[in-house]
Amino acid sequence: MSERCAEIHRKTGETDVFVSIDLDGAGKSEIDTGIGFFDHMLTLFSSHGQFDLRVKCDGDIEVDGHHSVEDIGITMGQAFHSALGEKRGITRYGSFYLPMDETLVLVSLDISGRPFLVYDSGDAPMIPMIGSYDTELTEEFLRAFAFHAGITLHVKILYGTNSHHKVEAVFKALAHALRIATEKDERLGDVVPSTKGLL
């Protein structure tokens, strides 16, 4: 494990979530959320971001997936924030266009310490469910992750028709943008990338 790693355990009356992340990993993952398609998305996120990621969630999926997906977003955000530490020497900003067949997605973000989410799912509506995954939960995950990681996050599905492709492109583009933003800039050395000296 590198120095930029963290483990978070979060337990509520609805979910029991464990997350570990290594920002300087090799894209290895162990994912068990109880929601097959979401497992697939987090596996892709780990691989494309080159983050080593473990996620284990025991949630009330007999109700639906909302609590599990949102609480995983919260816990991943907390782990990401902890792993970044004081954010010294990071690139800070990251943007990535990701094409997937007929779909094109843009993710642009700032590891700013000022959490915000703009999510534009495009003009074409998604199907309600992909397997046991509610497509509305993509926005809930992004919001929970961004707000607990301290990230200004903009996500726009520019176009596309296949809902699987659209959600998958979002997770892959997020991973690539985060990979860019968390990379060390040798010119910065140990400096926090802000004129305020704090992020």
pLDDT in tens, 126-165: 999 999 999 999 999 999 999 999 999 999 999 999 999 9
Q: Is 177 helix (H, G, I), strand (E, B) or coil?
A: helix
Q: Which tens digits make up the pLDDT trace of 110-131?
A: 999 999 999 999 999 999 999 9
Distance, CA of 22 to CA of 4 (rounded, Å): 6
C-beta of residue 49 within 8 angstroms of C-beta of residue 180: no
Provide φ and ψ at 163, rounded to 5°: -65, -40
Write the DSSP symbol of residue 184. Answer: B
| Residue 2 pLDDT class (50, 70, 90 cuts) | confident
C-beta of residue 28 within 8 angstroms of C-beta of residue 65: no
Q: Which tens digits make up the pLDDT trace of 12-46?
A: 999 999 999 999 999 999 999 999 999 999 999 99
Q: Is 119 helix (H, G, I), strand (E, B) or coil?
A: strand
Residues 6 or more apart from 40 whose CB is under 8 A from it? 168
Give the pTM. 0.97
The backbone region for 122, taken as left when phi is positive above 0, alpha when psi lies in -120 to 50, beta otherwise, is: left
Distance, CA of 199 to CA of 197 (rounded, Å): 7
The backbone region for 158, taken as left when phi is positive above 0, alpha when psi lies in -120 to 50, beta otherwise, is: alpha
